[in-house]
Structure formats: structure tokens, C-alpha cells
Structure 1
């Protein structure tokens, strides 16, 4: 519990799935966690889970595609929880499908909820992360961007690769401010992935065979625990990198 004790974390899209897993893992490491999402019932439920662990938490409603909503979120979190030391940009609308079927609106929503929201949140949190002296930002990418077959993943990969570039730039520019910036690319048993497995069992089975560890990561125990470790003092010299949390499948070289 001591590693992140006294830290305050924001995790967007943390009402379920990967975001919830990361939030719970950060809380188990001692951090107070702001649970952020569009559905109040989901964020409130996760905040109560964390409070049951004896750790401070609060639920916040935010549309990450809206600049004013982001500014309001950051101000509210810093006021209620006493600062910001960790930012996890997890929320994302995903534009999937063949390029000929991707509508402009879906592609724009992917960028608005992904790299644009990530940039806005990083900039809004920067003063607090700098003041912390040990600020950490974790952005989410995807190994779909480096698939051997990009069919159906072009728009999604483009959105997430833009986020990876922002991570590298922020790590370079904000390192002197004591802020570390990392990207993770997880495979996790989120509700969306479980739905895909149920709807396409044969495709899913073939996909699992391409993962050296032959399984999908658990949201809290695998993905969340890794994020909590990356935010801790043991990784204080680690920044600017993409960390594949995918059982060894992706090759980001």
C-alpha cells in the first residue's frame, strides 16, 4: 500500500473494463483515485469499491470530447482530492471496420476522444503534475496498430498511433519538469473483448493462438498491476516508452 500512498490519480473511462482494473490496482497501491466516465452509475459503483478498500475515491462525470468538461474535471479533482500526481488516459471511442465503411463522424470521434482528449488532459494536468515533482502520465495505445494484417484496424490504429507520438513528445518536453510519460498497449478481458469472443469464437480462438502466453490479460491483476508498478518509484527512470501488455504478441520495434 505504501508505494503510491499520498498520490492522487485520474483514470478516464474507469467505470468498467480496463479503466476500472487500473483504478482498483492504483488504489490497492495506496493512491486516491478519481473515477471518470460518462455514466454516473458506473463511476459511483467503482468509487464505492475503492472506498471499501479504505482508500479515498470520488466519481466524476466527464465527456472527454468536450474541452470545457475536461477543464472542469481537472479543477474538481484537484480541489476534492488535493492535487494530481497520476493521469491515465483510457477513455476512447473506437472506429473499427474496413476503410471504405468508416464514416467521417466515427473517425473524427476517434480522434476527439483519443489523441485530442489526451492532449487536452495532459495540458490541463501539467501544472499539478509538475508541482508533484513525481508526475506520471499513462496513455493507452493498441497493438492493432502493428498487426501483421491491418484489415479492419486502419482507422483505430491511426488514432492510437497519434497518441503514441504525443507520449514521446510529452516525455521529451516535460522530463525536465519531473513528469514521466508512458504508453501501454494492453490486451484485456474487457466487456468489449468478451463480447467479441462470444460473437466470433473461431476468430477469437485463432487470435489467442498468436499470443505466446495463450491468454488475454486480466483487467486488474495483469494490466492494472503493471500500471501501478510503472507509476511507482521503482520505474522513476523510465519514460517515453510503449509497454506492450499483451502476452508477448505485438512487436513495436
Structure 2
């Protein structure tokens, strides 16, 4: 990519979309030049052109790929998060490799009831003898999660003592974010039904920002992670009343 195309791609990542009319004025070029730039970005698989502009292509990384990254950190986070669950609680655990570790570290045959939209989480809990309810819906193949209106409706009649959600990005301004709009929607609905909201994420997620914000920092109670966040996030978390819990 040339310098202008790199700048346009950075703007799309930052703002979620660009408009041809604005770009041509900024760079003092013709409509056709900007269209060729967007065609190049689309050919590289980075964007999808829309009427009058472009938006980023958000690719869901498969669980198999994610499961090979930060494995030790995720296991420690899962163990620390599972310790937050008390007896007889109703818990929601969403899909992801870090939330899977929460399920793996719950006590076997516990008095806890777990609701999940993730098939891998349900399979782990089945082996542990934990009472589990699976939210139905449309299966998202790459992540093994159930999404869409059926999954959302399942949560609509429930109330949770604790929920454990993954996040692909955490910033002070954009809050907790995710690359998939359907997963983000389900997380928003789970938060509405929860007494306590726990975000489980390794430190690589700090400073990352994805298209769909599903909660502000103030909407969660605790982030369970493996390292202290950068100062801007730590200060914003303190101002929002958000606890940062470092897994030992």
C-alpha cells in the first residue's frame, strides 16, 4: 500500500468506516482515486466497500488458533475468576478461550447453575457434573458460540449472580469491545441480567479497540487479568469503580 492507502486503512480501523466524499477533500484527489484506493484495500481483504465509503472486514479468529496464544496466562486468569463464584449461584459464561478456563476451574459437582452459549464450555461442565443450561441460537462456526435472537431471548428471562465475559479489546474510551456484532449484542444482554459482571482477558487486550463496544468500563465490576494495565486504563478503571484483579 502507498502512504495514502495506509492512512486510509488506519482511519478505517480507528473510526469503523470512511466516506469517499470526506477522503477526496482531505487528500485533494478525485473520487476515482479514492475508489481505486478502496479497491486496493478490498483486494487485500482488509475492507468491504459500501455505498459511498468502506468499512473494515472483521474476521473471527477460530478457537483453535486462539487456544495456542497466552495459554498459561489464560489458565491463571480462569482459576482466579472461578474462585469468585459462590455456592448456589447462577452464572453465565460466554464463548472464548479465556472463559473456557473459568469453566475448567469450577469445582466439580458444585451447587452452581451455569448458563452458557458456548458448546465447548458446556462440554467441559458436562464432564464436571455441573448443572448447565445451553442457550440456543445460530451456531457461529469459528468460535462454537450460539448467537442471534434465540440466544438473546433465552437470557431475557434469567437473572445471574455472576457473569464472565471475554473481550478482544479494552480501552479507556471505547470500553470493552469485540469484533463480532452478534457476540457483542449477546454480551450486552447478559450484562443487563447480572448482579456482578466479570471480564476475563489477558494483558494483550489492553489498548486494543475493536468495532463493537459492548460495555463501558463502568458497566463491569472486575477485570481478571494477568498483568497490570497501562496507566491510562488503570486510571480510567479506578475512576469508573472497576476493580483490576491480577491472577497469581
TM-score tier, shorter chain, comes to 0.3 to 0.5
Larger Rg: 2
Higher helix fraction (1 or 2): 1
Higher strand fraction (1 or 2): 2
Compare relative contact order (CA 8 Å, sep 6+) and give the higher one, 1 or 2: 1
TM-score by length of 2: 0.35
